[in-house]
Structure 1
Amino acid sequence: MAPKMKQSTKGNKQIIEENIATLKFYRNMSCGSTIFHILVVFIFFEPFSGLQMIMTILTIAVHLGSYYFMSMMSRPQYTDGGSILDSGSDLNLEGGIAEHVKDIIILTAGTQLLSLLSDFFWLLLLLGPLRAAWIFWNSVVKPGLSQKNDAELSNERKQKQSEKKMKRVR
């Protein structure tokens, strides 16, 4: 059995390089799906209908906003001498906000491509707000409710104990 080794941490330079590669990958995914969608609609279908135009503009806006957010998150800071002061946020961390933004890009790109088969696939974009509500419920609302219930239970216990003490005194 091999001895357990401590997992090495990433250096600032490696984080910056991986962030650049990640941004490039998701930029290419966004641009590729959008360009393919527009070309297929112009070549094989009648010109954009109202729904297709609105949804295409919406997905382009989501792609641009998500990419801009990820690029701002991962922007490194340098000193005047050119050395790395801060590498920015690591876009490849599991469980971070960048993971959710990448999921948004994947969802919108997939929806754009599937909408070529049927306009009903645009409804898949509703999964984004549903997932956001689910995350909000599990991380904010549910823990808050359980804390109130725990506090109420502890207050009831304290009240019962004080009533028992009062009965003993009498």
Structure 2
Amino acid sequence: MAVIMRMSVCTSVAQTLITPDLDSFYNLPPDLLASRLSLASHFAHCDKPKGKVGTRGKKQIFEENRETLKFYLRIILGANAIYCLVTLVFFYSSASFWAWMALAFSLAVYGASYHSMSSMARAAFSEDGALMDGGMDLNMEQGMAEHLKDVILLTAIVQVLSCFSLYIWSFWLLAPGRALYLLWVNVLGPWFTADGGTPAPEHNEKRQRRQERRQMKRL
């Protein structure tokens, strides 16, 4: 926002220095005319950003990805700590086979999701240690990383609530249900509903022109 305001101010000042009154501007003394042109040139170019914008963008993505991975790693560790402490420590005597299976399932989901996010955010460095590629932006809206983050959050919530009842795991079916919905909306639905028998618009227009010509000839 600050950059946009600076660009607007610089452009306005440059226009004010040159174009308030062109007749009087060109009738100025040579030294004053040169001074104004120099100032106008300075303000006209001051809106250009300095520095390597691309490098700064890569570094920003790299830092944000690292913080995102740390955040979701804390969620994974926290949910597992609560589940293990309540279910497998305090109520160890009553822990059933399905409680251990739920823990194994959670670890598998966490591992697959977090590994996929780490692979997406993997950065590339040059031989001298300079950042060449910050990796895929994990905070991009409607990206694959958003779905992986939703899976981690859903699993963590269900895992913690399942300390009270293992039936809470039925809510985890929201994840495959959401996946099937996206698959239908983005892939299967358009493919099944595509009408291949509909004639092309150009063909309809040509046939309509022929009919109009026939009617004109009859008249």
Q: TM-score, normalised by structure 2?
A: 0.66
- In the alignment, structure 2 segments of 5+ residues that lack a partner are 8-52, 215-219
Offset at 1:145?
2.8
* SS of residue in 2 equivalent to 1:152: coil
Offset at 1:43?
3.5
Q: 1:112 and 2:197 equivalent?
A: no
Please identify the structure whose Cα radius of gyration is greater: 2
- Paired AA for residue 114 in structure 1: L
Partner deviation per Cα, 1:87-108 (whole Å, 9 max, x = no partner) = 1001111110000000000010
Q: Give the direction of change, closer, same or farther, for the CA distance of 1:154–1:113 in structure 2 (3 Å limit).
A: same
Structure 2 distance, partners of 1:157, 1:92, is 43
Match of 2:72 among 23, 26, 29: 26
- Paired AA for residue 143 in structure 2: G
Structure 1 distance, partners of 2:210, 2:176, is 52
Q: 1:131 and 2:178 equivalent?
A: yes
- Paired AA for residue 26 in structure 1: Y
Q: Which has the higher contact order (CA 8 A, sep 6+)?
A: 1
Q: Which residue of 2 aligns with 1:63?
A: 110
Partner deviation per Cα, 1:34-80 (whole Å, 9 max, x = no partner) = 11101101343234311111111001111111111111110100111
Q: Which residue of 1 aligns with 2:26?
A: none
Q: Count the aligned residue pairs.
A: 166
Q: Which residue of 2 aligns with 1:40?
A: 86
Two-structure CA RMSD over aligned residues (Å): 2.9
Q: TM-score, normalised by structure 1?
A: 0.83
Structure 2 distance, partners of 1:16, 1:27, is 17
* SS of residue in 2 equivalent to 1:85: strand
Offset at 1:156?
10
Match of 1:17 among 55, 59, 63: 63
Structure 2 distance, partners of 1:157, 1:85, is 49
- In the alignment, structure 1 segments of 5+ residues that lack a partner are none
Structure 1 distance, partners of 2:167, 2:155, is 14
8 Å Cα contact 2:159-2:169 kept in structure 1: yes
